[in-house]
Structure 1
Amino acid sequence: MAFLNYHHLRYFWAVAREGNLTRAAEKMHLSQSALSVQLRKLEEHLGHQLFERENRKLVLTEVGRIVLDHAETIFKTGDELQSLLKSGQASNRQVLRVGSVATLSRNFQFDFLKPLMGRTDLELVIRSGSLREMLAQLDAHTLDLVLSNLPVPRDAENLWHSHLLARQRVSLVKKPVKGEKPFRFPEDLKTVPIVLPSLQSDIRADFDLILEQAEIRPLILAEVDDMAMLRLLARETPGVTLVPPVVVQDELRSGVLVECCKIHDLQESFYAITQSRRFPNPLVAQLIQQVKGEV
């Protein structure tokens, strides 16, 4: 196999960063046609298409994303070489890009990623948003996996894999009050106010069904789609909060909150969502298998 032409790689890197052939050509002081020829030569050398056109914009293919990662590593290594010769220090690091839905427990995210914490050879990139936003980034190869509390349907067009990582029970928690009578579920929810996850939550739908069957209309203080906010409200509001204990594990340990009722019919599931790829990030499989082994 012929040696890789690093000039071609630099041209590709410029186009990938700009997302536009004309702007990249201007920055590289080349004609658009000349730059296009250089890109074509790189694709022929690698044997893969690196870009697709979407609405007049160049979008990286899966292979293109991999080539970009390596190109950035190569150019970063060149910068580190110069830095090493000047300061005597350099590093070489892998990258793992993780997306997380906003409704997911931050404590669970931390526990999941904990095996990677402290690794000096790894750069961990974490993004948050709606499940739709995270899946779009996964599809665009800008994320390696997505953490979610809901599985994603798999079909011929979207080859998602929803890896079940854990199932955890759900409880009602509250601030401790001395001398208070034991909480009776669901009867006490006729008078005790409650903070709930939003209607988009899987556990909320099941909880509403339990109360409906018991003919109880709860006094809802707040509905929250962010677990970090749910945790804060549990600490500050009167009444009870419906939440997986992992979300408030620090407050339960310190006694700031107490678990007043375990709801045995409710469980929250946690998934790692990946996509079928020819060149997956090897760190993803390692992490998922490690976490599954601990469940």
Structure 2
Amino acid sequence: MSELNYHHLRYFRAVAHDGNLTRAAERLNLSQSALSIQIKQLEERLGHQLFERRGRQLYLTEAGRIALDHADTIFATGDELLQTLRQTGTTRRAIRIGALATLSRNFQLEFIRPLLDRTDVELILRSGSTAELLGALETLNLDIVLLTQPPAADAVTPFVSEQLYQQRVSLIGSPALASGKLELGKMLAQHPMILPTLESGVRLQFEALAARLGVTPQIAAEVDDMAMMRLLARSGVGLAVMPPIVVQQELETGMLSELDTLPGIVENFYAVQIKRRFPNPLIRVLLDAGQWSGGKGG
């Protein structure tokens, strides 16, 4: 079987991003017919049609979308190779950071703060699921990923996890619900609860605490997004189980109150990398920042 022709793949990528064969041919300094032949040869090699024409525009087929995703990864990796080897020993200007979509925005802001005032640094921020972020890390489309649980590592995907921070988890509610403070067990029994979903490590810890206290909480909502938990807590529908850092501004302004700390329940934050010979030097700037020294926080 013949190998893939990467010139064909590069031409296909240019047309796919442009959506117009004529403009892409002009940009590549090729005739339109020559470019069409290149695309046709790639389609024959892959065994699938990559484009469908609608009027003057070209649209990717399902096979074309898959091919473009792979092409972007391949050429991004090539760019990474050139930039990394050319800049060995110098500070890189770009760093690509991925974060779990449910991760506290306040925590993310504190993490990147050491680079915010640097005019020589370009921050590229992405969010997604754990699987999406780790996949991007493996393909070198991300330099570092922020998660609440460390991924499994093996010889094939050697992830390196570093605990950054350990934040206590509390009961957070509106000032009206905070009036007339009760002991923890009674609060859990009397107030509706806004809880993270069962996939969350915090939820599992909360279920264990409720069992120890002999309480069956009334669940007002199960939420997998911290921003939504914040809104629900502010609306007064119940008490939210969350790290105070998530609602730091609301606590400071008195819009929300921290009713009690949940004993033994913590949210862990991890920075995850993949072993690389030439890691982005800006990663160490973030990891060595003073607020993460010790890896824990109250």
The normalised TM-score by structure 1 is 0.72
Number of residue pairs matched?
Answer: 243
Aligned to 1:280, what secondary structure does the other structure show? coil
1:64 to 1:16, Cα distance in 2 relative to 1, 3 A: farther
3-state SS of the aligned residue for 2:259?
strand
Secondary structure of the 1:277 match is coil
Q: How far did residue 144 of structure 1 move?
A: 0.5
Cα deviation for residue 234 of structure 1 reads: 1.2
Once residues 132 and 197 of structure 2 are traced to their aligned partners in structure 1, the CA distance between those partners, rounded to angstroms, is 18
Instruction: Provide the residue aligned with 2:293 in structure 1.
Output: 293
2:163 corresponding residue in structure 1: 164
**What SS does the corresponding residue of 2:217 show, helix, strand or coil?**
coil
- Counterpart in the other structure of 1:250: 249
> Aligned pair in 2 of structure 1 residues 93, 64: CA closer, same or farther (>3 Å)?
closer
- In structure 1, the partner of 2:59 is none
CA separation in 1, counterparts of 2:194 and 2:240? 5
1:199–1:205 Cα contact (<8 Å) kept: yes
2:74 is the alignment partner of 1:60: yes
CA RMSD after TM alignment: 3.3
Indicate conservation of the 8 Å contact 1:16/1:60, yes or no: no
Contact 2:106 2:246 (C-alpha < 8 Å) held by counterparts:
yes
Indicate conservation of the 8 Å contact 1:195/1:240, yes or no: yes
Match of 2:95 in 1: 96
Kindly tell me: are residues 18 and 140 of structure 1, through their superposed partners in 2, closer, same or farther at Cα, counting changes over 3 Å? farther
- Structure 1 residue identity aligned to 2:292: K
State the SS of the aligned residue for 2:175. coil
* Distance apart, 1:18 and its partner CA: 4.4
Task: List runs of 5+ in structure 1 lacking aligned partners.
Answer: 1-10, 36-54, 74-91
How far, CA to CA, are the matches of 1:177 and 1:271 in structure 2?
Answer: 35
The equivalences for 1:1-295 within 5 A come to: 14=10, 18=14, 28=28, 29=30, 57-58=70-71, 59-60=73-74, 64-67=78-81, 69=83, 94-177=93-176, 180-290=179-289, 291-293=291-293
The answer for unaligned runs of 5 or more in structure 2 is 1-6, 39-65
Q: In the aligned structure 2, how far is the partner of 1:237 from the partner of 1:178?
A: 7
Is the 8 Å Cα contact of residues 96 and 283 (structure 1) preserved in structure 2?
A: yes
Distance in structure 2 (CA, Å) of the matches to 1:102 and 1:131: 9
Which residue in the other structure is 2:57 paired with? none
Which secondary structure does the structure 2 equivalent of 1:186 belong to? helix
Is residue 183–residue 261 contact of structure 1 (8 Å, CA) maintained in 2?
no
What TM-score comes out, normalization by structure 2 length?
0.72
Shift of 1:278: 1.4
Q: CA shift at 1:69, angstroms? A: 4.9
User: 1:171 touches 1:262 (CA, 8 Å); kept in 2?
Assistant: yes
Taking structure 1 as reference, are residues 254 and 14 closer, same or farther at Cα in structure 2, changes over 3 Å only? same
